[in-house]
Amino acid sequence: MDLTGGAGLLAVIAATFSVAVGVTGLTFYRSYVAYLASYGLDASAAIGFLMFAVFAFVSSAFGYAGGIWAFTKRHLMVSISAVLVMLASALFTFAVIERYQYGVTESMLLPGISIGAFSVVAAIFLFKSRAKFA
């Protein structure tokens, strides 16, 4: 059974959600820094937003590459690794939000769960269709 097309599509969708998490993280970072700076407070507590935004952008690049390689049925292990990097990004986002006690868990819940679910299913699809890869 050839599931590479579905795996590639799920990887690209998860990467798009990852970009959305990155943009949200940058937006939250900018607003927290502006808010804290307006009161003359230290803005170093907002670094968590920047950390998960950067990791989300990096993992989305891996996700897009893994999805494209899954569509072309090349580089199986690289495709699976790229999908698992996106899963790690979702877990990292939740860990950072929990660590820094940001009150934005609700807004990160839907994209984080979507990235995680799509990544796991894409990895399973890729592994099941490993015979199709060159």
Residue ranges covered by each domain of the chain: 4-132
Nearest to 66 by CA among 56, 78, 53: 78
Name the H helices within 39-132: 47-72, 76-100, 105-128
What is the pLDDT at residue 34? 92
- Say what percent of the chain tops pLDDT 70: 99
Query: Residues, the chain, total?
Result: 134
DSSP 8-state assignment for residue 45: G
Looking at this protein, which amino acid is placed at residue 129?
S
Dmax of the chain from CA atoms?
A: 60
The reply to whether the predicted model has a pTM over 0.95 is no
Judge whether residue 52 has pLDDT over 80: yes
What is the pLDDT at residue 46? 83
pLDDT in tens, 56-91: 999 999 999 999 999 888 888 999 999 999 999 989
Structure tokens belonging to residue 38: 């307006």
Contact 89, 41 (CB under 8 A): no
Q: Rounded CA gap, 54 and 117, in Å? A: 21
- End-to-end CA, the chain: 15
DSSP 8-state assignment for residue 103: S
What is the pLDDT at residue 134? 67
Contact 21, 93 (CB under 8 A): yes
Judge whether residue 101 has pLDDT over 90: no
pLDDT in tens, 4-35: 899 999 999 999 999 999 999 999 899 989 99
Q: Which residues 6+ apart lie within 8 Å of 6 measured at CB? A: 122, 125
What is the pLDDT at residue 132? 81
Judge whether residue 47 has pLDDT over 70: yes
